[in-house]
Structure 1
Amino acid sequence: MKNFAHYFYDYFLQLNFTESSAKYLNMLALLAILLVIIFISDFIARKILLQAFSTFAEKSKTKFDDLLVSHKVPRNVAHIVPLIITLKCLPIAFIDFPHFESAVELLLKLYCVILVLWIIRSVLNTLESFFKTLPRLKDKPIDSYIQVLMLFLWLMGIGLIFVMLTGINVKTFFTTLGAASAILLLIFKDTILGFVASIQVAINDTVRIGDWITMDKFGADGTVIEINLNTLQIQNFDMTITNIPTSSLISEPFKNWRGMSNSGGRRIKRAIIIKAKSIHYLTDDKVEELKKIQLLTDYLTQRQEDITSYNTNNNADKSVLINGRNLTNLGVFRKYIQSYIENHSAINKDMTIMTRQLAPTPQGLPLEIYAFSSDKRWQNYEYIMSDIFDHSIAAVPYFGLELYELSSYTGE
């Protein structure tokens, strides 16, 4: 081996080069050959590993090996082969320059640390992608855990590189690092808070990827598309992306619509305001007229019989309409809306259906519709709710009622 190491040296001496020049030229020639060997070995190793992994991936039923290839794990592992060859050949290339050998060997060791970290990163990215394909894990913040682990590994790698460069004792370095932990905690405060938040979110199942959440403080209203160590990404319904600190999930209030999404319907809760002065008792003639409304025919017939029987038994003086029991236009309208909603094809009949009065306001008496649409999709939900209120508002005049309007109210 020594003869080969000095082969070019002897050749250059025969060409009448000085000994010093021959040594340098010999080193350069050996380095050129080493670079060719490195390139060829890297190429062959990559080809062999990629072919082996690709063949295995095609025959395997699991997606994990496919993900290993897509995340370049075989390609990164292949770099180990030329690295080993280089370390073995350094004594030959620098046989006459041991100080150069030490410096290059140190650089290669540093590269080795970085390469190992890069391989681990590729494997962790593969695990992350694989876990997201599992139904029970795809909505978990896997990204946060991977990022924390990589952060820890990079810190260890940087520490190891620092030890190699300075030559200090490893124990001394980490002792000093422990003493500086307060500074590190301050530097990585957001990272630590994000990690703690992501763990709490996962344990308590507060937020999942794919959940629709609303955070008014940050103007976020949309679907969670990613939970990272430091940020939570939300795609709003206008297709914009809002990034908020992950730690805000445990420090700020937000609304998660998952319960609605998993339920049988989406809630409709809206009121129309009736002018109080338009509310009155119904005369018999008006009741007969309202019986023409098919949803009210049976109800009004039965109610009218009950009321007449009650008034007769109690000798109510019906010359004054307020005496005894009476139907009101608002009460009949409320019953009509209740029947209309109960018969609406887009309303979930297994969930609460209610039409109720709210407390009177200076503008009038609110009549609230409370129900759940079977279709929870936003666009369809809005269409169903609009359809119900289109009909309800248009039906108001049939009962002798009036809606509150600011212009008409202020004008009186």
Structure 2
Amino acid sequence: MFSLINDFLLSYKLSENLSGFLSNIIVFGIMLIFSYIAYLITNKYIMKILEKIIQKSKFKWDDILFRKKVFHSLGHIAPAIVILSFSSTFSVFNEGFKRFAISYIVLSIIFTINGILRTISDIYESDSKKYRPIKGFIQLIQIVLFSLGGILVLGILINKNFTYLLSGIGALTAVLLVIFKDTLLSLSAHVQLTANKMIRKGDWISMNEYGADGNVIEMTLNTIKVQNWDKTLVYIPTWALINSSFKNWKGMEQSGGRRIKRCIYIDFESIKLFDKDKIDNLKSKNYLSDFLNNFLKSMEIKHISNLTLFRKYLVYYIENNNKFNTKMTYIVRHLDYTEHGLPLEIYVFSKEKSWVEYEGVQSELFEYIYSVIEAFELKIYQLPSYDNFKNISLSN
């Protein structure tokens, strides 16, 4: 093509230098026009036809491939091929155009492979049954892909062998290790976390060091994204989960219940012995009669502590309440006494594990305890308030 245009210009008595210069410009313009036409055909018309075919398809993977612009990346190969075919027609810079076109094709292939990798990640992550996240591994492959692709493109542009460039990079290994230290640490941590099933997307984790207490919503090679219950977002370096401790509530969610462990403080002055008359008085209360009949039937007791009765009743209440999992450990016990009274600890597992329902069960339990404790003539310890001191001063 160049020679035809050049001969045509020479026929108009132009100098060889001028005709050669103009011929190169004309060939360059024709190349741009054909490249643009190739781009329009592939990215406008062919892509629209392909989009209609994909919309009618029942498969979801082709929709994701189109959304990730995988086919658009392939569309860039067409104008690159046009440039490559025209490169030999130039009288100057033909080798440069050739290298540029080959580099363009290589980059298009790299971005196509990258789009396929992102599609694989999206399809895999969309399946909630998939336990092990692969986003970190996909990101690792992407790093290798772009690193090797970048070296290959650089080698093509400067006309150096790929292995020659790799050997040069080998001499910079120490520098690269320093630059990519965090990435390498995160890679090692990500492999350990996923291989040992320590964490996955959707897990509830707590990590006080980073102020994290919520669900894992994203796992990448370098960071773990956690959405706290107050909807704030926390980004934790992946390696930090290996170097520091964190709490994963997955065990609780997979078990038969969520633990309730709370104390009430009994006033020492209210602890006393109950005789038969006081016990009979308790029997008159409908909600206590069944418990007392069963409890007293098993033993002959003339005098018993009101605290013992109350403690045994709470155990009875838990055993007969279907909101608690009695197949798991449950106990009502008192701990070492303190200046605030005698701690009575209730340790039981609620069948409800989600936050709102669990808090509801826990609140109902202690609201009931606060309501019935007076029947046993027990008092919950409470620090004196202003009204207490006011009443004392008035009485004096």
| TM-score normalised by the chain length of structure 2 | 0.89
Which amino acid letter does the alignment assign opposite residue 104 of structure 1?
Answer: F
The question of 1:205 aligning with 2:161 is answered no
Q: Which moved more, 1:18-27 or 1:378-387?
A: 18-27
Q: Which residue of 108, 123, 130 maps to 1:115?
A: 108
SS of structure 2 residue aligned to 1:406: coil
Q: Which moved more, 1:205-214 or 1:382-391?
A: 382-391
Correspondence for 1:29: 26
Correspondence for 2:188: 196
Correspondence for 2:122: 129
Equivalent positions of 1:328-367 (< 5 A) are: 328-367=305-344
Q: CA deviation at 1:293?
A: 2.8
SS of structure 2 residue aligned to 1:238: coil
Q: Which moved more, 1:175-184 or 1:275-284?
A: 175-184
CA RMSD of aligned residues (A): 2.6
Whether the 8 Å CA contact 1:53–1:65 is kept in 2: the answer is: no
Q: Residues 231-268 of structure 1: CA distance to partner in whole angstroms, max 9, x if unpaired?
A: 01001111111001101121111111111112222111
Which runs of 5 or more residues in structure 1 are unaligned? Answer: 311-324
Measured at CA, do residues 201 and 399 of structure 1 come closer, stay the same or move farther in structure 2, by a change above 3 Å? same
SS of structure 2 residue aligned to 1:261: helix
Q: Residues 78-99 of structure 1: CA distance to partner in whole angstroms, max 9, x if unpaired?
A: 211221121011222x1x32xx
Q: Which residue of 55, 61, 71 maps to 1:64?
A: 61
Correspondence for 2:268: 276
Q: CA deviation at 1:127?
A: 1.0
Measured at CA, do residues 299 and 52 of structure 1 come closer, stay the same or move farther in structure 2, by a change above 3 Å? closer
Correspondence for 2:291: 299
Query: In structure 2, what is the Cα distance between the partners aligned to 1:25 and 1:245?
Result: 58
Query: In structure 1, what is the Cα distance between the partners aligned to 2:88 and 2:293?
Result: 109
Query: In structure 2, what is the Cα distance between the partners aligned to 1:15 and 1:397?
Result: 117
Correspondence for 1:320: none
| TM-score normalised by the chain length of structure 1 | 0.86
Percentage identity across aligned positions? 35
Correspondence for 1:174: 166
Measured at CA, do residues 199 and 302 of structure 1 come closer, stay the same or move farther in structure 2, by a change above 3 Å? closer
Q: Which residue of 343, 357, 361 maps to 1:384?
A: 361
Correspondence for 2:149: 157
Q: Which residue of 349, 355, 374 maps to 1:397?
A: 374
Query: In structure 2, what is the Cα distance between the partners aligned to 1:165 and 1:76?
Result: 20
Measured at CA, do residues 274 and 63 of structure 1 come closer, stay the same or move farther in structure 2, by a change above 3 Å? same
Equivalent positions of 1:5-154 (< 5 A) are: 5-13=2-10, 17-46=14-43, 47-48=45-46, 51-52=49-50, 55=53, 58-59=56-57, 61-92=58-89, 94=90, 96-97=91-92, 100-137=93-130, 139-154=131-146
Whether the 8 Å CA contact 2:259–2:349 is kept in 1: the answer is: yes
SS of structure 1 residue aligned to 2:202: coil
Q: Which moved more, 1:100-109 or 1:328-337?
A: 100-109
Q: CA deviation at 1:36?
A: 1.7
Q: CA deviation at 1:119?
A: 1.1
Q: CA deviation at 1:24?
A: 2.5
Which amino acid letter does the alignment assign opposite residue 39 of structure 1?
Answer: Y
Correspondence for 2:349: 372
Query: In structure 2, what is the Cα distance between the partners aligned to 1:91 and 1:302?
Result: 102
Correspondence for 2:246: 254
Query: In structure 2, what is the Cα distance between the partners aligned to 1:142 and 1:337?
Result: 49
